[in-house]
Amino acid sequence: MSEEIKLLKGNEAIALAAIRCGTDGYFGYPITPQSEILETLMAEMPWETTGMVVLQAESEVAAINMVYGGAGTGKKVMTSSSSPGISLKLEGISYLAGAELPCLIVNVMRGGPGLGTIQPSQADYFQTVKGGGHGDYRLITLAPSSVQEMADFVGLGFDLAFKYSNPAIILADGIVGQMMEKVVLPPFQERKTEAEIREQSTWAAQGKPTHRKPNVITSLELDPAVMEENNIRFQKKYKTIEENEVRYEEFHCEDAEYLLIAFGSSARICQKVVELAREEGIRLGLLRPITLWPFPTKAIAGYAEKVKGMLSVELNAGQMVEDVRLAVNGKVQVEHFGRLGGIVFTPDEILVALKDLIINK
Amino acid sequence: MKQEIIIAGFGGQGVLSMGKILAYSGLMEGKEVSWMPSYGPEQRGGTANVTVILSDSPISSPILNTYDIAIVLNQPSMEKFEDKIKPGGILIYDGYGIHKPVKRTDINIYRVDAMDAATEMKNEKAFNMIILGGLLQIVPMVKLENVLLGLKKSLPERHHKLIPMNEAAIKKGMEIIQKV
């Protein structure tokens, strides 16, 4: 075995993966249930090994603007928070998207609205994939359902962010942040040198050589004609991402008569529901969107005429279910089952809901 | 083979760390493991619990309806988890923390007087390891040598001198657990 298997919390895995992925800077502010990210980074002291900066900012707003500054220079920078903290960051996130800056944001969701609860929730789906901040922008959204994916999506998130010059977000929740599982961390990757950044990120504000125009990092454009051009460029980029970067996982879908759609930790709980249902002879499958934007619309639409019903299982009042309904376009019944405010459903209550809402309806 | 375990008690009893040591021990045996804590504003005196799953195959849900084994260390946790033990499952409790008789008759019930034993050993911190010893006596899901390896992994190096004391506590628990 080349890499050691570790037992880590999801939050710890994100922190350790960030150091290994050659991240240049982390800027954050503590909030449950993701404080272990900042804690682990501080304990590891990567500034003494890789040179990575770890900074506890004075607020979430300061942290996201530090990310804006770092990203503007072509550095690999990230921040993390939980729901109320992400709300504070939204202005900065919209600016990052508007300035087409690559960066990684992590939201370990908790129950809301408002200060809410510290318990797990998935109620920031709308906020993440339908905007949140102002303007027509999109975030590349990865939804990990295991500690291994918490580690793996740090590198993937950065890769996609830089590939498309767009912010990427890991949309996790308190379960996958707090639980411990086996994980193999990604291999060590050096931080990019200044020369590499200048070569790979020609747009970055890195100090102007004499032969070219200055690089200006801004989301401001007062001429509406130019601003429309900018928006058209963003939309074209979003379309490319939708065509190329959809990720999802299927679990017992081949012969499924009914389908669960769930992301993140809900998908883990739904795997158990599939096992329980199949013990009873119900042919149940699970489709797990890994990217929430771009959404696996085509994959879900592909099942519209194969199954008798779909249940979107989410720790919220019914958010992703809207995208599932759009995908199947009325061809099959789609219902939602959720628990709210930090309460987590158990596998058996999901199975009961499936029977009540779809099978026996 | 899969063991789905809930460990529940007061914050400060070592519930989470006992679960962690069990999970590390499983890791040492090459098993799949998951450790899912309650992470509310628990503190000494509040309730705390952790779900630990050890399995030979990949683990689906880290959150469960029912458990093969419940280790219950105070009365509020008994009220919460007694009904969630699978028929034929195992309940282990500490005689000091539980003052009402157990109602279930379709499960195997064991008692470890760990609080008394820890007091006798003049080491109240050994409490959770005595309980762990009791568990391993009834269901030897991990070998003692792997528990000691797990302890080494989960404890910071400055605490490694405490491992012999923990081993003694585990052995004590193995001796004193009794069927009810």
Nearest-CA distance from B83 to chain A in Å? 15
Concatenated DSSP letters for A212-275? SPPP---S----HHHHHHHHHHHHHHHHHHHHH---EEEES-TT-SEEEE--HHHHHHHHHHHH
> Could you give the CA distance from residue B91 to residue B102 in angstroms, rounded to a whole number?
9
Q: Look-up: residue for tokens 């979003």?
A: A238
List B residues 27-56 in contact with A (Cβ-Cβ < 8 A).
27, 32-37, 39-41
Position A1 scores a pLDDT of: 45
What residues of chain A lie within 8 A of the CB of B60, using their CB? 268-269, 271-272, 274-275
Interface contact flag, A5 B27, Cβ < 8 Å: yes
Interface contact flag, A118 B37, Cβ < 8 Å: no
Considering only CB atoms, A348 lies closest to which of B20, B39, B65, namely: B65
From B33, which residue of chain A is nearest by alpha-carbon distance? A181
Q: Tell me which residue of A360, A310, A309, A318 sits closest to A339, measured CA to CA.
A: A318
Interface contact flag, A119 B40, Cβ < 8 Å: yes
> Could you give the CA distance from residue B32 to residue B69 in angstroms, rounded to a whole number?
17
Nearest-CA distance from A183 to chain B in Å? 10
Interface contact flag, A178 B65, Cβ < 8 Å: no
List A residues 322-351 in contact with B (Cβ-Cβ < 8 A).
344, 346-349
Considering only CB atoms, B61 lies closest to which of A33, A271, A349, namely: A271
> Could you give the CA distance from residue A354 to residue A200 in angstroms, rounded to a whole number?
50
Report CA dihedral (A209, A212, A214, A217) to the nearest 10 degrees.
-100
Position B130 pLDDT exceeds 90: yes
Task: Tell which of B39, B57, B151, B153 to mutate to test the A interface (max A CBs under 10 Å).
Answer: B39
Question: Residue A30 burial by CB count (10 A; 0-12/13-18/19+): exposed, middle or buried?
Answer: middle
> Could you give the CA distance from residue A336 to residue A293 in angstroms, rounded to a whole number?
19
Asked if the C-beta of B144 comes within 8 angstroms of chain A's C-beta atoms, the answer is no
CATH code of A4-195, in short, is 3.40.50.970
Asked if the C-beta of A119 comes within 8 angstroms of chain B's C-beta atoms, the answer is yes
Interface contact flag, B63 A275, Cβ < 8 Å: no
Report CA dihedral (A337, A339, A340, A344) to the nearest 10 degrees.
-140
Interface contact flag, A178 B37, Cβ < 8 Å: yes
Domain with CATH 3.40.50.970 in chain A: 4-195
Q: In the structure, what pLDDT confidence band is assigned to residue B42 with cuts at 50, 70 and 90?
A: low
Nearest-CA distance from B120 to chain A in Å? 34
Q: In sequence order, what E strands does A64-197 have? A: 77-81, 103-109, 140-142, 167-173, 180-184
Position B67 scores a pLDDT of: 97
Judge contact between A286 and A292, C-beta under 8 A: no
Question: CB pairs below 8 Å between A and B: how many?
Answer: 67
Considering only CB atoms, B64 lies closest to which of A32, A180, A346, namely: A346
Judge contact between A103 and A96, C-beta under 8 A: yes
From A181, which residue of chain B is nearest by alpha-carbon distance? B34
Encoding tokens for residue B162? 């405490």
> Could you give the CA distance from residue A180 to residue A60 in angstroms, rounded to a whole number?
26
Judge contact between A71 and A120, C-beta under 8 A: no
Position B63 scores a pLDDT of: 92
Helix axes of A224-244 and A147-164: crossing angle, nearest 10 degrees? 140
Considering only CB atoms, A347 lies closest to which of B34, B36, B65, namely: B65
The pairing of strands A5-9 and A25-28 is unpaired
Position B43 scores a pLDDT of: 60
Interface contact flag, B60 A180, Cβ < 8 Å: no
Q: Which residues contact A225 (CB under 8 A, 6 or more apart)?
A: none
Question: Average pLDDT in the B67-73 region?
Answer: 97
Could you give the 3-state DSSP secondary structure of residue B28? helix
Residue A261 vs residues A122, A329, B70: alpha-carbon distances, Å: 14, 15, 31
Encoding tokens for residue A121? 């929730």
pLDDT values of chain A reduced to their tens digit, one per residue, 361 residues: 457 899 999 999 999 999 999 999 999 999 999 999 999 999 999 999 999 999 999 999 999 999 999 999 999 999 999 999 999 999 999 999 999 999 999 999 999 999 999 999 999 999 999 989 999 999 999 999 999 999 999 999 999 999 999 999 999 999 999 999 999 999 999 999 999 999 999 999 988 888 889 999 999 999 999 999 999 999 999 999 999 999 999 999 999 999 999 999 999 999 999 999 999 999 999 999 999 999 999 999 999 999 999 999 999 999 999 999 999 999 999 999 999 999 999 999 999 999 999 999 8
Domain with CATH 3.40.50.920 in chain A: 248-359
Interface contact flag, A178 B40, Cβ < 8 Å: no
Judge contact between A331 and A297, C-beta under 8 A: no
Interface contact flag, A7 B33, Cβ < 8 Å: yes
Asked if the C-beta of B64 comes within 8 angstroms of chain A's C-beta atoms, the answer is yes
Interface contact flag, B61 A181, Cβ < 8 Å: no
Q: What is the largest CA-CA distance in chain A?
A: 73
Considering only CB atoms, A179 lies closest to which of B60, B62, B64, namely: B62
Span between the terminal Cα atoms of chain A, in Å: 51
Other Cβ atoms within 10 Å of B50 Cβ, number: 25
Length of chain A: 361
Position B80 pLDDT exceeds 70: yes
Nearest-CA distance from A146 to chain B in Å? 10
Considering only CB atoms, B62 lies closest to which of A5, A175, A182, namely: A175
Question: Average pLDDT in the B115-139 region?
Answer: 94
pTM: 0.95
Asked if the C-beta of A288 comes within 8 angstroms of chain B's C-beta atoms, the answer is no
In which region does residue B54 sit, left (phi positive, over 0), alpha (psi from -120 to 50) or beta (all else)?
beta
Q: Look-up: residue for tokens 């989470």?
A: B16
Interface contact flag, B34 A179, Cβ < 8 Å: yes
The pairing of strands A103-109 and A167-173 is parallel
Considering only CB atoms, B63 lies closest to which of A32, A118, A269, namely: A269
Asked if the C-beta of B20 comes within 8 angstroms of chain A's C-beta atoms, the answer is yes
Position B41 scores a pLDDT of: 66
Interface contact flag, A268 B40, Cβ < 8 Å: no
Concatenated DSSP letters for B77-103? HHHHHGGGEEEEEEEEEETTT--S---
CATH code of A248-359, in short, is 3.40.50.920
What residues of chain B lie within 8 A of the CB of A347, using their CB? 61, 63-65
